[in-house]
Amino acid sequence: MILLKQKTNLPGFHLSLGYTMLYLSLVVLIPLSMLFVKTSTMSFAEFWSVVTAPRTLAAYRLSFGAAFIASFINVFFGFLIAWVLSRYRFPGKKLVDALIDFPFALPTAVAGIALTTLYASNGILGSVLAKIGIQSAYNALGVVLALMFIGLPFIVRTIEPVLQELDPELEEAASSLGAGRWEIFRRIIFPAILPSIVTGFSLAFARTIGEYGSVVFIAGNMPGKTEIAPLLIITKLEEFDYSGATAIALVMLLVSFLLLALTNWAQWWTSKKVGMN
Protein backbone atom coordinates (compact mmCIF):
# COMPACT_ATOMS: atom_id res chain seq x y z
CA MET A 1 0.00 0.00 0.00
CA ILE A 2 1.38 3.36 -1.02
CA LEU A 3 0.29 5.08 2.18
CA LEU A 4 2.31 2.95 4.53
CA LYS A 5 5.82 4.09 5.26
CA GLN A 6 6.20 0.74 6.95
CA LYS A 7 8.37 0.48 9.98
CA THR A 8 7.17 -2.88 11.11
CA ASN A 9 5.26 -5.73 9.66
CA LEU A 10 2.64 -5.92 12.37
CA PRO A 11 -0.72 -7.06 11.07
CA GLY A 12 -4.01 -5.20 11.06
CA PHE A 13 -2.94 -2.00 9.35
CA HIS A 14 -5.58 -1.96 6.67
CA LEU A 15 -8.34 -3.19 8.90
CA SER A 16 -7.74 -0.69 11.67
CA LEU A 17 -7.09 2.22 9.32
CA GLY A 18 -10.16 1.40 7.28
CA TYR A 19 -12.40 1.18 10.30
CA THR A 20 -10.91 4.34 11.77
CA MET A 21 -11.49 6.31 8.59
CA LEU A 22 -15.01 4.97 8.20
CA TYR A 23 -16.05 5.81 11.75
CA LEU A 24 -14.33 9.20 11.56
CA SER A 25 -16.15 10.08 8.37
CA LEU A 26 -19.56 8.98 9.58
CA VAL A 27 -19.38 10.53 12.99
CA VAL A 28 -17.26 13.61 12.46
CA LEU A 29 -16.46 14.60 8.93
CA ILE A 30 -19.85 14.30 7.30
CA PRO A 31 -21.79 16.05 10.07
CA LEU A 32 -19.21 18.85 10.26
CA SER A 33 -19.29 19.36 6.55
CA MET A 34 -22.97 20.23 6.92
CA LEU A 35 -21.90 23.60 8.27
CA PHE A 36 -20.19 24.38 5.02
CA VAL A 37 -22.92 22.80 2.90
CA LYS A 38 -25.61 24.86 4.54
CA THR A 39 -23.65 28.07 4.38
CA SER A 40 -23.08 27.58 0.69
CA THR A 41 -26.83 27.79 0.18
CA MET A 42 -26.76 31.31 1.49
CA SER A 43 -25.65 34.26 -0.57
CA PHE A 44 -22.72 36.14 0.76
CA ALA A 45 -24.89 39.17 1.46
CA GLU A 46 -27.22 37.07 3.60
CA PHE A 47 -24.30 35.54 5.40
CA TRP A 48 -22.71 38.89 6.06
CA SER A 49 -25.88 40.52 7.35
CA VAL A 50 -26.47 37.74 9.86
CA VAL A 51 -22.92 37.69 11.05
CA THR A 52 -22.60 41.43 11.46
CA ALA A 53 -26.03 42.09 12.96
CA PRO A 54 -25.73 44.08 16.21
CA ARG A 55 -27.13 41.23 18.27
CA THR A 56 -24.66 38.76 16.79
CA LEU A 57 -21.73 41.07 17.29
CA ALA A 58 -22.72 41.64 20.90
CA ALA A 59 -22.86 37.87 21.41
CA TYR A 60 -19.43 37.39 19.85
CA ARG A 61 -18.03 40.21 21.97
CA LEU A 62 -19.32 38.55 25.10
CA SER A 63 -18.26 34.98 24.26
CA PHE A 64 -14.84 35.84 22.90
CA GLY A 65 -14.16 38.70 25.28
CA ALA A 66 -15.05 36.84 28.44
CA ALA A 67 -13.08 33.80 27.28
CA PHE A 68 -10.04 35.96 26.66
CA ILE A 69 -10.20 37.75 29.98
CA ALA A 70 -10.85 34.57 31.93
CA SER A 71 -7.99 32.73 30.25
CA PHE A 72 -5.68 35.67 30.75
CA ILE A 73 -6.38 35.83 34.48
CA ASN A 74 -5.98 32.08 34.68
CA VAL A 75 -2.51 32.37 33.21
CA PHE A 76 -1.30 34.04 36.37
CA PHE A 77 -3.11 31.93 38.89
CA GLY A 78 -2.74 28.77 36.84
CA PHE A 79 0.98 29.30 36.67
CA LEU A 80 1.12 29.97 40.38
CA ILE A 81 -0.81 26.82 41.15
CA ALA A 82 1.35 24.75 38.82
CA TRP A 83 4.45 26.16 40.51
CA VAL A 84 3.22 25.47 44.00
CA LEU A 85 2.16 21.94 43.08
CA SER A 86 5.40 20.97 41.39
CA ARG A 87 7.84 22.56 43.78
CA TYR A 88 6.51 22.82 47.27
CA ARG A 89 5.28 20.34 49.80
CA PHE A 90 2.30 21.06 51.98
CA PRO A 91 -0.37 19.05 53.75
CA GLY A 92 -3.16 17.91 51.46
CA LYS A 93 -1.13 18.51 48.33
CA LYS A 94 -2.09 15.21 46.74
CA LEU A 95 -5.75 15.94 47.30
CA VAL A 96 -5.44 19.40 45.84
CA ASP A 97 -3.59 18.04 42.84
CA ALA A 98 -6.31 15.50 42.14
CA LEU A 99 -9.04 18.11 42.47
CA ILE A 100 -7.51 20.45 39.90
CA ASP A 101 -9.24 18.38 37.25
CA PHE A 102 -12.59 18.80 38.92
CA PRO A 103 -13.87 21.52 36.57
CA PHE A 104 -12.87 19.31 33.68
CA ALA A 105 -14.65 16.26 35.00
CA LEU A 106 -17.81 18.01 36.16
CA PRO A 107 -20.73 18.18 33.71
CA THR A 108 -21.22 21.71 32.45
CA ALA A 109 -24.84 22.02 33.56
CA VAL A 110 -23.94 21.14 37.12
CA ALA A 111 -21.12 23.65 37.02
CA GLY A 112 -23.53 26.20 35.61
CA ILE A 113 -26.13 26.03 38.36
CA ALA A 114 -23.53 25.74 41.10
CA LEU A 115 -21.64 28.79 39.89
CA THR A 116 -24.83 30.81 39.53
CA THR A 117 -25.89 29.92 43.07
CA LEU A 118 -22.45 30.88 44.30
CA TYR A 119 -22.28 34.28 42.64
CA ALA A 120 -25.90 35.37 42.79
CA SER A 121 -26.47 38.32 45.08
CA ASN A 122 -27.69 35.95 47.78
CA GLY A 123 -24.94 33.43 47.18
CA ILE A 124 -21.96 32.84 49.42
CA LEU A 125 -19.49 34.79 47.31
CA GLY A 126 -22.04 36.92 45.52
CA SER A 127 -23.28 38.48 48.74
CA VAL A 128 -19.77 39.42 49.76
CA LEU A 129 -19.20 41.11 46.41
CA ALA A 130 -22.61 42.78 46.52
CA LYS A 131 -21.59 44.49 49.75
CA ILE A 132 -18.84 46.28 47.84
CA GLY A 133 -21.24 47.07 45.05
CA ILE A 134 -20.15 44.43 42.55
CA GLN A 135 -22.78 42.34 40.81
CA SER A 136 -21.33 38.97 39.90
CA ALA A 137 -24.24 37.14 38.27
CA TYR A 138 -26.47 37.74 35.25
CA ASN A 139 -23.83 39.93 33.70
CA ALA A 140 -20.51 39.73 31.87
CA LEU A 141 -18.58 39.42 35.11
CA GLY A 142 -20.51 36.30 35.93
CA VAL A 143 -19.54 34.82 32.60
CA VAL A 144 -15.88 35.61 33.23
CA LEU A 145 -16.01 34.02 36.68
CA ALA A 146 -17.63 30.89 35.28
CA LEU A 147 -15.06 30.60 32.51
CA MET A 148 -12.25 30.99 35.01
CA PHE A 149 -13.60 27.87 36.68
CA ILE A 150 -13.79 25.95 33.41
CA GLY A 151 -10.44 26.98 31.98
CA LEU A 152 -8.14 26.53 34.95
CA PRO A 153 -7.29 22.82 34.52
CA PHE A 154 -6.14 23.40 30.96
CA ILE A 155 -3.53 25.88 32.03
CA VAL A 156 -2.33 24.09 35.14
CA ARG A 157 -2.05 20.72 33.42
CA THR A 158 -0.13 22.20 30.51
CA ILE A 159 2.43 24.04 32.61
CA GLU A 160 2.88 21.46 35.35
CA PRO A 161 4.68 18.74 33.36
CA VAL A 162 7.04 21.26 31.81
CA LEU A 163 7.93 22.61 35.24
CA GLN A 164 8.55 19.10 36.46
CA GLU A 165 10.84 18.28 33.56
CA LEU A 166 13.09 21.26 34.17
CA ASP A 167 16.65 20.15 34.67
CA PRO A 168 17.57 20.92 38.29
CA GLU A 169 21.19 21.24 37.31
CA LEU A 170 20.46 24.40 35.36
CA GLU A 171 19.26 26.19 38.46
CA GLU A 172 22.06 24.81 40.57
CA ALA A 173 24.58 26.00 38.03
CA ALA A 174 23.04 29.46 37.97
CA SER A 175 23.03 29.57 41.75
CA SER A 176 26.67 28.60 41.94
CA LEU A 177 27.41 31.44 39.53
CA GLY A 178 25.82 33.89 41.93
CA ALA A 179 22.26 34.33 40.68
CA GLY A 180 19.49 34.94 43.22
CA ARG A 181 16.11 33.18 43.09
CA TRP A 182 14.34 35.98 41.26
CA GLU A 183 17.14 36.16 38.70
CA ILE A 184 17.02 32.44 38.20
CA PHE A 185 13.31 32.62 37.69
CA ARG A 186 13.47 35.47 35.24
CA ARG A 187 16.36 34.23 33.14
CA ILE A 188 16.22 30.47 33.32
CA ILE A 189 12.88 29.14 34.42
CA PHE A 190 10.48 31.56 32.78
CA PRO A 191 11.89 31.34 29.26
CA ALA A 192 11.78 27.56 29.47
CA ILE A 193 8.11 27.47 30.36
CA LEU A 194 6.90 30.34 28.21
CA PRO A 195 5.84 28.07 25.33
CA SER A 196 3.73 25.98 27.66
CA ILE A 197 2.10 29.09 29.07
CA VAL A 198 1.16 30.17 25.57
CA THR A 199 -0.20 26.69 24.81
CA GLY A 200 -2.15 26.56 28.05
CA PHE A 201 -3.68 29.96 27.38
CA SER A 202 -4.72 28.95 23.90
CA LEU A 203 -6.23 25.69 25.08
CA ALA A 204 -8.20 27.45 27.77
CA PHE A 205 -9.26 30.18 25.37
CA ALA A 206 -10.34 27.76 22.67
CA ARG A 207 -12.32 25.69 25.12
CA THR A 208 -14.09 28.60 26.73
CA ILE A 209 -15.08 30.47 23.56
CA GLY A 210 -17.85 28.04 22.75
CA GLU A 211 -18.77 27.20 26.32
CA TYR A 212 -22.50 26.85 26.89
CA GLY A 213 -23.71 24.75 29.82
CA SER A 214 -21.63 26.39 32.50
CA VAL A 215 -22.40 29.95 31.47
CA VAL A 216 -25.96 29.95 30.21
CA PHE A 217 -27.34 30.05 33.73
CA ILE A 218 -25.11 32.80 35.04
CA ALA A 219 -25.10 34.93 31.92
CA GLY A 220 -28.44 36.69 32.13
CA ASN A 221 -29.14 35.99 28.48
CA MET A 222 -30.47 39.39 27.50
CA PRO A 223 -30.16 39.80 23.75
CA GLY A 224 -27.61 42.37 22.79
CA LYS A 225 -26.30 42.62 26.32
CA THR A 226 -25.62 39.40 28.14
CA GLU A 227 -26.32 36.80 25.50
CA ILE A 228 -23.59 34.34 24.67
CA ALA A 229 -23.05 33.24 21.08
CA PRO A 230 -24.03 29.57 21.57
CA LEU A 231 -27.34 30.66 23.06
CA LEU A 232 -27.96 32.88 20.07
CA ILE A 233 -27.39 29.86 17.84
CA ILE A 234 -29.99 27.87 19.79
CA THR A 235 -32.47 30.73 19.64
CA LYS A 236 -32.10 30.94 15.88
CA LEU A 237 -32.66 27.19 15.66
CA GLU A 238 -35.82 27.43 17.70
CA GLU A 239 -37.02 30.08 15.26
CA PHE A 240 -36.22 27.59 12.46
CA ASP A 241 -33.65 30.02 11.09
CA TYR A 242 -31.21 27.22 10.19
CA SER A 243 -29.19 29.48 7.90
CA GLY A 244 -28.73 32.14 10.54
CA ALA A 245 -27.69 29.60 13.13
CA THR A 246 -25.22 27.98 10.75
CA ALA A 247 -23.69 31.29 9.73
CA ILE A 248 -23.01 32.25 13.32
CA ALA A 249 -21.66 28.77 14.06
CA LEU A 250 -19.37 28.82 11.06
CA VAL A 251 -17.72 32.03 12.18
CA MET A 252 -17.10 30.49 15.59
CA LEU A 253 -15.62 27.38 13.99
CA LEU A 254 -13.34 29.44 11.79
CA VAL A 255 -12.18 31.44 14.78
CA SER A 256 -11.39 28.16 16.58
CA PHE A 257 -9.31 26.92 13.67
CA LEU A 258 -7.59 30.27 13.36
CA LEU A 259 -6.83 30.08 17.04
CA LEU A 260 -5.36 26.62 16.64
CA ALA A 261 -3.11 27.81 13.86
CA LEU A 262 -2.16 30.88 15.88
CA THR A 263 -1.34 28.67 18.86
CA ASN A 264 0.97 26.50 16.81
CA TRP A 265 2.66 29.56 15.37
CA ALA A 266 2.99 31.26 18.75
CA GLN A 267 4.45 28.10 20.23
CA TRP A 268 6.95 27.87 17.44
CA TRP A 269 7.84 31.53 17.76
CA THR A 270 8.33 31.52 21.53
CA SER A 271 10.31 28.29 21.34
CA LYS A 272 12.61 29.86 18.80
CA LYS A 273 12.91 33.06 20.74
CA VAL A 274 14.06 31.32 23.88
CA GLY A 275 16.34 29.11 21.86
CA MET A 276 14.72 25.87 22.74
CA ASN A 277 14.94 23.95 19.53
Partner 1 sequence: MSIEVSQIVKTFGSFKALDGVSLSVETGELIALLGPSGSGKTTLLRIIAGLETPDSGEILFYGEDARDKKIKDRQVGFVFQHYALFRHMTVFDNIAFGLRVKPKHMRPSETRIKEKVNELLKLIQLDWVGNRYPSQLSGGQRQRIALARALAIEPKVLLLDEPFGSLDAQVRKELRQWLRRFHDDLHITSLFVTHDQEEALEVADRIVVMNKGKVEQVGTPQEVYHKPASVFVLNFLGNVNLFKGRMVDGKPANLYIRPHQFDVARHSQGDNAIKATIKYMNPAGSSVKLDLLSESGNSLQVEITQQEFAKLQLVKGEEVFVCPKDITFCEYEI
Partner 2 sequence: MSNARTEPAVVRWSLIGIALAYLVLFIFMPLFIVFSTALEKGIAYYFHSLTDVDTIAAIKLTLITALIAVPLNLVFGVAASWVIAKFDFRGKSLLLTLIDVPLSVSPVISGLIFVLLFGLQGLFGPWLRAHDIKIIFTPIAIVIATIFVTFPMVARELIPVMKAQGSEEEEAAITLGASGWKTFWYVTLPNIKWGLLYGIILCNARAMGEFGAVSVVSGHIRGLTNTLPLQIEILYNDYDFTAAFAAASLLAFLALFTLVIKTLVEYRYRAELEAVGKKTH
Site string for partner 2, 101-130 (x = CB under 8 A): xxx-xxxxxxxxxxx-xx----xxx-----
Q: Are 108 and 214 in contact (CB under 8 A)?
A: yes
Minimum distance from residue 11 beta carbon to partner 1 (Å): 9
For the chain, report the end-to-end CA distance as a whole number of angstroms. 34
Choice from 199, 230, 247, 270 touching partner 2 (CB under 8 A) = 230
Ranges within 116-135 binding partner 1 (CB under 8 A): none
**CB closer to partner 2, 195 vs 210:** 210
**CB closer to partner 2, 118 vs 141:** 118
At residue 139, the 3 state secondary structure works out as coil
CA distance 85 to 87: 6
Residues 6+ apart with CB under 8 A from 90: 84
User: Is 277 an interacting residue with respect to partner 1 (CB under 8 A)?
Assistant: no
Stretch that binds partner 2, among 50-58, 131-139, 190-198, 241-249 (CB under 8 A): 241-249
Q: Are 68 and 151 in contact (CB under 8 A)?
A: no
User: Is 222 an interacting residue with respect to partner 2 (CB under 8 A)?
Assistant: no
Minimum distance from residue 108 beta carbon to partner 2 (Å): 5
User: Is 12 an interacting residue with respect to partner 1 (CB under 8 A)?
Assistant: no
User: Is 9 an interacting residue with respect to partner 1 (CB under 8 A)?
Assistant: yes
User: Is 134 an interacting residue with respect to partner 2 (CB under 8 A)?
Assistant: no
C-alpha distances in Å from residue 267, one per residue of 86, 162, 259, 264: 22, 14, 12, 5
Choice from 221, 256, 267, 271 touching partner 2 (CB under 8 A) = 256
Phi, psi torsion values for 5, nearest 5 degrees: -85, -15
User: Is 149 an interacting residue with respect to partner 2 (CB under 8 A)?
Assistant: yes
CB neighbours of residue 86 within 10 Å: 17
Choice from 5, 89, 94, 131 touching partner 1 (CB under 8 A) = 5
Helices (H), 25-139: 30-40, 44-51, 54-87, 93-99, 102-105, 108-119, 124-131
At residue 146, the 3 state secondary structure works out as helix
Minimum distance from residue 1 beta carbon to partner 1 (Å): 12
Choice from 1, 2, 6, 178 touching partner 1 (CB under 8 A) = 6
User: Is 1 an interacting residue with respect to partner 1 (CB under 8 A)?
Assistant: no
Number of residues that bind partner 1 (CB under 8 A): 4
Half-sphere exposure (Cβ direction) of 110: Cα atoms closer than 13 Å: 6
Choice from 1, 3, 8, 15 touching partner 1 (CB under 8 A) = 8
User: Is 235 an interacting residue with respect to partner 2 (CB under 8 A)?
Assistant: no
**CB closer to partner 2, 150 vs 194:** 150
SS (H, E, C) 174-186: HHHCCCCHHHHHH
CB neighbours of residue 206 within 10 Å: 20
User: Is 99 an interacting residue with respect to partner 2 (CB under 8 A)?
Assistant: yes
User: Is 11 an interacting residue with respect to partner 2 (CB under 8 A)?
Assistant: yes
- Note the residues at the interface with partner 1 (CB under 8 A): 5-6, 8-9
